[in-house]
């Protein structure tokens, strides 16, 4: 299926177990295309939507990584683990969850909404001095990590069956849901870790219709889920251009425009095809990446 190398976005429904890298490797073998990357890691114990950038579409990955993510998750109160999830070693248990008022749990969840500073987990893919934190943590190293700003746009309690708390949230890219479970548990005074995590959406793209890795060799399934690059960039302002402009952009030249949205990035499109991504400044579209040959 090497024809997919022309470029596009493939939504994949990652199951629990494999790493995000494993899923990329599966896609490379099934599609016979080496140029495949993804736009956001999922932990091995997590499942859900990954957007794979295939072929020439790897060049638009940077415009997708910052999209908001939507998750469904389950936190187990009263048990802390070193990884903040079910795969870690238990470091402390607290039976105080038995005395918790359900209304208080709901309030603490609601209080997470908004922008705050989050301390990343010790077990994470974040690099410190060139070494990923999960490698340092497994060696017994502890690094004081700087908190980073995150935004939780929505947080809904789905089900409360203490000590289990099932919730749904939409958050900014780079948010660690494991750390949210940790912080909720600390706010309640009993600790917590994440037992389930499923990503249900990336931006406006839902997991419904995504391809399971086991079906990546099914050309019909892949084509049914396949997104052309322009469709994947629907969240960006779009500038419709004519054939003359396409010729100029193909050569990397700027074009004049009365596009009302200044700044970057802006998509240039012709006949429902992606031509370039760039910025509009002083009435001029300046291409950063050109996608026509």
Q: List, by residue number, the catalytic residues.
A: 43
Do 201 and 91 form a contact (C-beta atoms < 8 A)?
Answer: no
* Residue (of 273, 50, 74, 274) closest to 192 by Cα position: 74
Question: Phi, psi at residue 154, to the nearest 5°?
Answer: -150, 140
Identify each DSSP E strand in 187-262 by its residue range: 192-202, 205-206, 238-240, 255-256
Cβ–Cβ under 8 Å, residues 224 and 209: yes
Map residue 163 onto helix, strand or coil.
coil
For tokens 């026509």, the residue is 292
Q: What sign results for the dihedral spanned by CA atoms 266, 271, 276, 282?
A: negative
Helical residues (DSSP H) of the chain, grouped into ranges? 20-31, 102-111, 133-138, 177-187, 219-225, 229-232, 243-250
CA-angle at 158, arms to 154 and 159, nearest 5° = 145
CA angle 156, 162, 165 (to 5 degrees): 25
- Per the CB < 8 A criterion, the answer to whether 114 and 152 are in contact is yes
């Amino acid at each position: 299926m090497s024809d997919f190398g022309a470029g596009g976005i493939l939504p994949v429904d990652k199951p629990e177990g494999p790493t995000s890298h494993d899923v990329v490797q599966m896609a490379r073998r099934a599609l016979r295309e080496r140029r495949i990357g993804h736009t956001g890691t999922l932990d091995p114990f997590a499942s859900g939507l990954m957007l794979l950038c295939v072929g020439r579409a790897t060049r638009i990955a940077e415009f997708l990584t910052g999209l908001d993510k939507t998750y469904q998750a389950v936190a187990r109160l009263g048990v802390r683990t070193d990884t903040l999830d079910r795969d870690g070693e238990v470091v402390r248990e607290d039976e105080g969850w038995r005395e918790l008022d359900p209304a208080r749990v709901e309030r603490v969840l609601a209080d997470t909404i908004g922008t705050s500073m989050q301390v990343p987990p010790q077990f994470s893919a974040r690099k410190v001095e060139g070494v990923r934190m999960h490698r340092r943590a497994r060696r017994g190293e502890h690094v004081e990590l700087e908190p980073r700003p995150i935004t939780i746009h929505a947080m809904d309690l789905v089900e409360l069956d203490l000590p289990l708390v099932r919730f749904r949230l939409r958050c900014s890219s780079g948010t660690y849901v494991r750390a949210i479970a940790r912080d909720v548990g600390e706010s309640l005074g009993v600790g917590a870790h994440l037992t389930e995590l499923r990503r249900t959406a990336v931006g406006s793209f839902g997991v419904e219709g995504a391809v399971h890795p086991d079906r990546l060799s099914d050309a019909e399934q892949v084509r049914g889920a396949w997104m052309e690059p322009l469709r994947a960039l629907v969240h960006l302002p779009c500038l419709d251009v004519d054939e003359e402009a396409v010729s100029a952009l193909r050569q990397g030249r700027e074009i004049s425009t009365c596009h009302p949205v200044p700044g970057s990035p802006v998509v240039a499109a012709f006949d429902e095809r992606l031509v370039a991504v760039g910025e509009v400044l002083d009435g001029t579209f300046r291409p950063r990446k050109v996608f026509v040959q």
